[in-house]
Amino acid sequence: MGTEFVIRGEGQWYNFLNRLKLSAVLVGPFATSAPSEGTQAIFVDGGAKWFRPPGITVGDGDSWDQTPEVHLRPDKDFSDLAFVMRSLPKQVRLVEMMGFLGGERDQEWFNLGEVDHFLAERQGRVVHFDHSILGFSRGHWHFEHTGPFSLLSLRPTQFELEGEVDFPISSPTAFRALDSRGLSNRASGWVGLKSTEPAFIIFKEPQAKSYL
């Protein structure tokens, strides 16, 4: 994203981004703890209250009582999270997000929307929200889970779902955006997912996941 929206810290921001490898950790305003020590995290907006090096703080300063290192213009027409997601370098394939669920409902939905745009524009990406939601770019993926989950997309797509699930989708099936046919499935092990657009898996009993 262009630097015309950065008041201060442009050089720090691009130096930080250049050090990222295959994954990025983002800490948002609803985080309840700091990331593990030594994590090169991006502390977004109010998530800066959990700041610890070697991370970096980013935002317009409206939700923190200090000035972020990367200070964004407050009159921009997009969120602080949007700036970060659109700035992530191409080598980042996994984004771990802490503290972007909860709070006001519109804010949570717009956070999901920005992630959806990120997944739509870049192939082979996974976004993990607080062990509660997995977002996948279009393609073929596997994850492991025991318990209930729901499957949805924010845009029309075709799904296939196989493996250890109560309600498989054995052939490509068209789903509308937020189609309730994906509501309340259950997994008991490995699950295979194919999707023609970005997809979200919402876990109703969050636990550690594996995916590839």
Contact between 35 and 51 (Cβ < 8 Å) = no
Model confidence pLDDT, tens digit, residues 35-62: 999 999 999 999 999 999 999 999 987 7
Backbone φ and ψ of 95, nearest 5°:
-120, 120
Q: Which residues contact 55 (CB under 8 A, 6 or more apart)?
A: 27, 35, 39, 40, 41, 42, 43
Indicate whether 64 pLDDT > 80.
no
Q: Are 9 and 68 in contact (CB under 8 A)?
A: yes
Give residues with Cβ within 8 angstroms of 39, minimum separation 6: 25, 52, 55
Coil vs helix vs strand at 138: coil
DSSP state of 11: H
Q: What is the pLDDT of residue 15?
A: 96
What is the structure's pLDDT at 145?
93
What are the helix (H) ranges across 72-175? 80-87, 105-121
CA dist., res. 61 & res. 140, Å (int): 39
Largest CA distance in the chain: 53
Domains of the chain: 3-130 (3.40.50.10240), 138-150+159-197 (no CATH)
Rounded-to-integer distance, Cα 189 and Cα 141, Å: 14
User: Cis before residue 89, ω within 30 degrees of 0?
Assistant: no
What does the pLDDT look like over 160-210, one tens digit per residue?
A: 999 999 999 999 999 999 999 999 999 999 999 999 999 999 998 765 455
Q: For 150, which DSSP code?
A: E
Whole-structure pTM over 0.95, yes or no?
no
Q: Is 108 exposed, middle or buried (0-12, 13-18, 19+ CB in 10 A)?
A: middle
- The C-alpha torsion from 54 through 6 and 47 to 52, rounded to 10°, is 20
The predicted model gives 8-12 an average pLDDT of 93
Q: What's the sign of the alpha-carbon dihedral 61, 110, 102, 22?
A: negative
The C-alpha atoms of residue 103 and residue 7 are separated, in whole angstroms, by 27
